[in-house]
Structures are given as structure tokens and as C-alpha cells.
Amino acid sequence: MTEKSIKFHGKVVAGDGIAGVDYDFPTANLHFIKEPDIDTGVYAAITEYKGQKFESVVCYGVGDPVKFEVHLFELDSDLLGEDLKVELLFKVSELIPWQSKERMRQKIFHDVELVHDYLNERKKKA
């Protein structure tokens, strides 16, 4: 599949904390003035925070209102109120209906593995 990046800029707002508490996988929930025009799903991404770029995974499309959740690898900071620039690189999977906490945990970690694989292959080609 051809890589076509899509860029977003948003402010981190408070989320419900489920990803961090239930799955030990904290996310930054971004608020946009206008909802992104992208398919729901899980994406490999690069996120810029205070001038530094971090590999990340994005989940878009869960909840009401629709959420844009970003997990930055190698960063453990409270990002509430901060501005993030996110570049979506590649959609790695579709969202699935919630079945159980354990099934969701498996899905999250499988998606993270897919994102790492994609980003590692991307580095090799650079």
C-alpha cells in the first residue's frame, strides 16, 4: 500500500482514562475544531511534541463524541492542555466491537506490534 501521510494539529483534552487505567496504555485525547475527515481505525503515526518527534499509535473513532487518541512511544508525561502535531502514516487495522477487557487488551497490543513493524520497515527504507 502506498504511504500517504495526513497531518493534524490539536490540543490534548481530558479523556475518560480507560486506556491508561484498564490497559496500562495511556493516551492523549486530541480536540479539533473540525472533526478529521479520515476513516476510523488504528494508525501508525509520528507525533511532534515541543519540537521532538515520537513514534506513536493513533486510535480514531471510538465513543461519542468520536475520539482521536494518541499513544506516544518512549514518552511518559502528562500532556493535558499541550499542543500536538500528528502525522498519520499508515492504517494498520480496523476497530472492533468491544467484547471483553481481555480481548481489547489483545487487540491493543497486537495493533502496537503492527505499528512497530511498520515503523521499523519504514526506517529501513529511509
CA atoms within 13 A on the CB side of 97: 1
Residue 77: domain span = 6-125
The total number of residues written for the chain in this structure: 126
Q: What pLDDT, in 10s, does the model give residues 70-92?
A: 999 999 888 999 999 999 999 99
Q: What is the CATH number of the domain that holds 106?
A: 2.40.30.30
Set of cell numbers at residue 51: 519540537
In the predicted structure, residue 59 carries a pLDDT above the cut 90: yes
% of the chain beyond a pLDDT of 70: 94
Q: What is the predicted pLDDT for the residue at 21?
A: 61
Nearest by Cα to 10 from 19, 25, 21, 45: 45
Most distant CA pair in the chain, distance: 39
Q: What is the mean pLDDT of the chain?
A: 88
How many domains in the chain?
A: 1
Residue 1 placed within a domain? no
Rounded CA-CA distance 119/89 in Å is 9
Residue 41 placed within a domain? yes
